Amino acid sequence: MIPDAQRLRPAMWPELIRNGNRLFVGSNAAVPLALMEEFLRHVEQFRDLEIVHILTLGETPWTAPSYLPHLRTNSLFLGAGTREAVRLGHADYTPCFLSEIPELFRSKVLPVDVALVQVGPPDAQGYCSLGVSVDVVAAACASARHIIAQMNARSPRTMGQSFIHLNHIDAIFECETPLPEIPPPTLDAVTLQIGQYVAQLIEDGSTLQMGIGKIPDAVLRYLDQHNDLGVHTEMFSDGIIACLERGTINNRKKTLHPGKTVASFCIGTRTLYEYVDENPHIDFYPSDYVNNPQVIAQHHRMIAINSALEVDLTGQVVSDSVGYRFYSGIGGQVDFIRGAAMSRGGKPIIKR
């Protein structure tokens, strides 16, 4: 039961938000889209707001030029909507290592006034789960003066350091909307061949980090003959489910958190979101822990598999831009490449 005093009302917006405030918006598949639509209905009463976030799935209506007198977006990782807004000069891009963003909030280098995030319904003790994105959301909530939460009945209840108590939330907007989904990619013959080659570099007992896309899914398809693999990754998608169910990934020989798949967020389909719901074998932790190169390096045989957009003739890799145009962001790739390189028996792998 949500106390009436916490239910979001139109009169609460000017009580929680002031002109010139910086607003953090929740990440990835946990972006509070319904809450943001409600906020934009009242945005004309504010001026000089800054919205900051990493990747958000779905539409980004707050980047529309019509809102510029009232707010401007500063994205720390670009997606489809923010990418175009930055190109046109309607939004800003600040490149950051994912592992370092939480400390920017805590140290007030990038202070957060209000956090707009998504949570699931509370348990009997009053704790809500941040669901499929703990990443930098946990630090934003801990640092913000006010928290406005979209309480979505469809948000999975994930385990680990993913909880926030009702007492810490200033206003709640209830809804029941499906999470944004990304369907599994179609794998062509070339992609499958690359996946097979990469799989041959992975030894039994290794701990894996792999992102989203064709190559990670292709690699996972060729791990059926491997044994005792573990996962310590910033994110994962649907491709991991089959490996977990057949026991190829069992986390038994992980150096840290044995028996647990550790991540900071996941992106995929409804099947994935239902799989992580109350799954005691998958723990979600903040990005400053999961992406910390020193933590990553403690895993023996750490395998980091990441993508490049371009590689030049000297071997230099670019993964965040195409030519002079920003495409995505630094994210966690360098964190895991460094960590895997320092790991005993580890291998950083870049695929193109």
Residue 212 pLDDT more than 80? Answer: no
Query: Are residue 169 and residue 220 in the same domain, yes or no?
Result: no
Reported confidence tier of residue 317, pLDDT bands at 50, 70, 90: confident
Residue 181 lies in a domain: no
Query: Are residue 151 and residue 288 in the same domain, yes or no?
Result: no
Lowest mean pLDDT among 166-170, 329-333, 344-348: 329-333
Query: Are residue 140 and residue 215 in the same domain, yes or no?
Result: no
Domain end, chosen from 151, 175, 199, is at 175
- Here the CATH number for the domain that contains residue 280 is 3.30.750.70
For residue 68, the Cα-to-chain-centroid distance in whole angstroms is: 26
Tokens describing residue 91: 């939004």
Residue 62 pLDDT more than 90? Answer: yes
Per-residue confidence (pLDDT) for residue 326, from 0 to 100: 82
Residue 246 lies in a domain: yes
Residue 184 lies in a domain: no
Reported confidence tier of residue 10, pLDDT bands at 50, 70, 90: very high
Residue 183 lies in a domain: no
Per-residue confidence (pLDDT) for residue 322, from 0 to 100: 81
Query: Are residue 8 and residue 80 in the same domain, yes or no?
Result: yes
Residue 53 pLDDT more than 80? Answer: yes
Domain end, chosen from 128, 145, 175, is at 175
Reported confidence tier of residue 185, pLDDT bands at 50, 70, 90: confident
- Here the CATH number for the domain that contains residue 30 is 3.40.1080.10
Of 81, 86, 28, 35, which Cα lies nearest the Cα of 57?
28
Catalytic residue among 234, 274, 278, 310: 234
Query: Are residue 202 and residue 126 in the same domain, yes or no?
Result: no
Per-residue confidence (pLDDT) for residue 215, from 0 to 100: 84
Reported confidence tier of residue 311, pLDDT bands at 50, 70, 90: confident
Mean pLDDT of the chain: 94
Residue 308 and residue 319 in contact, taking contact as beta carbons nearer than 8 Å: yes
Residue 180 lies in a domain: no
Residue 182 lies in a domain: no
Residue 27 pLDDT more than 80? Answer: yes
Number of structural domains in the chain = 2
234 is annotated as an active-site residue: yes
Model pLDDT for residues 241-278, shown as the tens digit of each residue = 999 999 999 999 999 999 999 999 999 999 999 999 99
For the residues 316-342, what does the mean pLDDT come to? 87
Query: Are residue 119 and residue 209 in the same domain, yes or no?
Result: no
Residues with Cβ within 8 Å of 228's Cβ and at least 6 positions away in sequence, in order, are 204, 205, 250, 252, 253
Reported confidence tier of residue 312, pLDDT bands at 50, 70, 90: confident
Counting every residue written for the chain, the total comes to: 352
Reported confidence tier of residue 216, pLDDT bands at 50, 70, 90: confident
CA distance 214 to 207: 20
Query: Are residue 56 and residue 159 in the same domain, yes or no?
Result: yes
Q: What is the largest CA-CA distance in the chain?
A: 62
Query: Are residue 194 and residue 309 in the same domain, yes or no?
Result: yes
Domain end, chosen from 121, 147, 175, is at 175
Query: Are residue 201 and residue 328 in the same domain, yes or no?
Result: yes
Residue 209 pLDDT more than 90? Answer: yes
Per-residue confidence (pLDDT) for residue 223, from 0 to 100: 94
Per-residue confidence (pLDDT) for residue 168, from 0 to 100: 97
Query: Are residue 170 and residue 193 in the same domain, yes or no?
Result: no
Model pLDDT for residues 144-158, shown as the tens digit of each residue = 999 999 999 999 999
CA distance 7 to 5: 6
Per-residue confidence (pLDDT) for residue 166, from 0 to 100: 96
Residue 240 lies in a domain: yes
Query: Are residue 281 and residue 196 in the same domain, yes or no?
Result: yes
Per-residue confidence (pLDDT) for residue 101, from 0 to 100: 97
Reported confidence tier of residue 350, pLDDT bands at 50, 70, 90: confident
Query: Are residue 25 and residue 97 in the same domain, yes or no?
Result: yes
- CA angle centred on 17, ends 11 and 20, rounded to 5°: 140
- Domain residues for 170? 4-175
Above pLDDT 70, what percent of the chain? 100
Strands 347-351 and 127-129, how do they pair? unpaired
CA distance 207 to 290: 13
Residue 146 and residue 113 in contact, taking contact as beta carbons nearer than 8 Å: yes
Residue 136 pLDDT more than 80? Answer: yes
Residue 56 pLDDT more than 90? Answer: yes
